[in-house]
Structure 1
């Protein structure tokens, strides 16, 4: 399973996201020559993604999908790193072949210390837009019907339903409005208990039909 480490400073962001009803976290940290993207998508209706941390190593374009263990409500965010994961981090830091000492526990402590205490939704949206290629392989997990990226319009929900994060989250990536405008619009949709309808863009439908002939 690997060696365990704590990222307990995620507690502040995780708690903030729960209180704000915006179960998405995304931010970047630079350490030495390494650049690290953190992304979490914990839609309460989706058990598959709720304990997943995507740690993307920017320089080497390598993704480490990690499981977060422990009681998050009590501040426990435990990860396990295998030797191959540690080697990937060393490559990201450009330490391989230099004979420099590397202590993974000290690195994780440094990474943990730099996790921000708070993030506005607009900043998360900007981060995800900037790193769209990094998360492209996970869109089927974090979005409903990932191929439907063309917005049709709003739809009123009955009182016993509420907008799904995996549907609203498409605005983060596919809206042409500013991140601040998207954040405000999502808040308004939730207040009015409305969701969005999406469809597959016409050019994708045409391409698919051509390929299948």
Structure 2
């Protein structure tokens, strides 16, 4: 498949800037697929600001689909979805293209593994983790969050693959009866150590 015939997918983030984890993600994209990563700049200091950003997300993403001819959209950032629960359906209706979210796709992956209890690693605070846990509970998955702080927001960007591995290893040893480890929040980037974890 030539580049001109590649499937063109939008990957929209509520963040305002390009994260280093995007480079790791793009390295996984197969031939024949073009992924446009588009930061939308929907919050400045706190993920809680996203509770008021659903309309802006909808407008910006709908415009990008029309301008760039995206065949589908991946909406990143669990905090966006858990604070704007109707956003995925509104995006599907407004854009007319398939839309998935971080939570929807990750939940589907956990179900494919028949995992009913997962250790959930995030760079979020306790209140945001509670919302993520509520979503997962509604999907039939018992979420277990580590007792130790993983570093929230931009601080999580400074973690090396070795540090992410050690955090996950320690959290797994402290958790009971989990069937999977689920990384939510790519700022806590596990891509450099997934094979070692498995």
Same fold (TM over 0.5): no
Return the structure number with greater helix share. Answer: 2
Return the structure number with greater strand share. Answer: 1
TM-score (norm 1): 0.26
Specify the structure having the higher radius of gyration (Cα): 1
